[in-house]
Amino acid sequence: MKPVIEVNHLSCTYHDGTRALCEVSFQVAEGECVGLLGPNGSGKSTLLLHLNGLLPEQPTSDGAVRIHGQPVTDTNLLEVRRQVGLLFQDPDDQLFCATVAEDVAFGPVQLGLRGAALEERIDHCLARVGLTGFGHRATHHLSHGEKRRACLAGVLACEPSVLVLDEPTSDLDPRGRREFKALLREIPATKLIATHDLEMVVELCSRVIILDQGRVVAQGPTADLLGDEPLMLAHGLERPHILQHRHPHVLRPGPTA
C-alpha cells in the first residue's frame, strides 16, 4: 500500500551536540496504526516533532521526511500541518486558549473556517471525544483525562489524515485509558503512537518500531516483537503481561515491513 509517512535516513543533532536520531528509516502505510517504542531518551519525541516540521532547530529535514509523498520543508509546512495532527505528551503544552471551544476552534480558524460551519465542527469534535457541553469550560479547570480529550478534539478539528501521538495514555487512570483507547480505535486516520503503554500497543497497533539511542533497532508485527523477551529487555522494555501466556515467536522483519 502507498506509504503515508516516509522517513529516510533521518538524523538529528541538537545544538548542544546531543545526537537524538541517527539514520532513522521506516514507512507507515495508509490506515496503519503503528506503535513507536523505546526507552526514555531514545528519540521518540524528537522523531514525532519532525513529522510536522515542529523542530525549531531543524525546520527542514532535507526531504528525509515525506507525508503523502510531499517532503516536509519550510515551504510546505502549512500543508503538512493540515495533514498531520500531533498530540503533545503534555496537554498543558497544547491547550492555550481560555475555553475548550476556543481551543478546539483555533486550528479550523487558521484553516479559514468561520460562522456556522465552525460551530458545527467544534460541536462535532467535542461530541466525538465525549466532551459535549464542555465548550464553555475553562481549559485549566479540566481534569487530566478531559484535557487529553480536549486536545484530541482540537487536533481532529483540522481533519488530519495522519495522527501522531506522544504518550497519549500516560497519567490517565484505568478508565481514562480505556476510554481514550476506544476513541483512538474509532479514528480512521493513519496513526503513529509513541508510548510505554504496551497493552495499548497490543490492542491498537498492528506493527511496532523500536528505537534505542536514536536508531531503529527493530520493526515488525506487534506480537512478534513484543513477544520477543530478549529483544524487549535489551532495549529497556519488557514483554507485556497481556502476551505472557503466548509462546514467543521470534521474527524480526527487515527495515521496511
Q: Which of 1, 16, 69, 112 contacts ligand ADP by CB under 6 A?
A: 16
Min CB(34)–ligand ADP separation in Å:
15
Q: Measured from the CB atom, is 48 or 113 closer to ligand ADP?
A: 48
Which of 40, 69, 115, 136 binds ligand ADP (CB under 6 A)? It is 40
Q: Which residues of 169-205 are buried (b: 16+ CB within 10 A; e: fewer)?
A: beebeeebbebbbebbeebebbbbbbbbbbebbbbbb
Q: Is position 192 an interface residue for ligand ADP (rule: CB under 6 A)?
A: no
Question: Cell 498492528 identifies what position?
Answer: 206
Q: What's at 220, amino acid-wise?
A: G
CA distances in angstroms from 120 to 116, 123, 132, 149, listed in the order given: 6, 5, 12, 18
Using the minimum distance from each CB to ligand ADP, give the nearer residue, 56 or 254.
56
For residue 202, which amino acid is it?
A: V
Q: Which of 42, 58, 169, 190 binds ligand ADP (CB under 6 A)?
A: 42
d(CA 188, CA 132): 21
Q: Print the SS3 string covering 200-252.
A: HHHHHCCEEEEEECCEEEEEEEHHHHHCCHHHHHHCCCCCCHHHCCCCCCCCC
**Is the Cβ of residue 161 or residue 213 nearer to ligand ADP in the bound state?**
213
Instruction: Rule CB under 6 A: choose which of 3, 35, 38, 135 binds ligand ADP.
Output: 38
Shortest separation between residue 190's beta carbon and ligand ADP, angstroms? 20
Least distance in angstroms from the C-beta of 25 to ligand ADP: 17
x/- map, 44-63, ligand ADP, by CB under 6 A: xxx-----------------
Candidate segments 16-24, 58-66, 116-124, 244-252, binder of ligand ADP by CB under 6 A: 16-24
CB of 13 to ligand ADP, least distance (A): 9
Three cell numbers, residue 68? 503523502
Binding segment for ligand ADP among 22-30, 43-51, 76-84, 101-109 (CB under 6 A)? 43-51
CA end-to-end distance (rounded Å), the chain: 11
Contacts of 73 (CB under 8 A, 6+ apart): 53, 60, 61, 62, 63
Q: Give the footprint of ligand ADP on this chain (CB under 6 A).
A: 14, 16, 18, 20, 38, 40-46
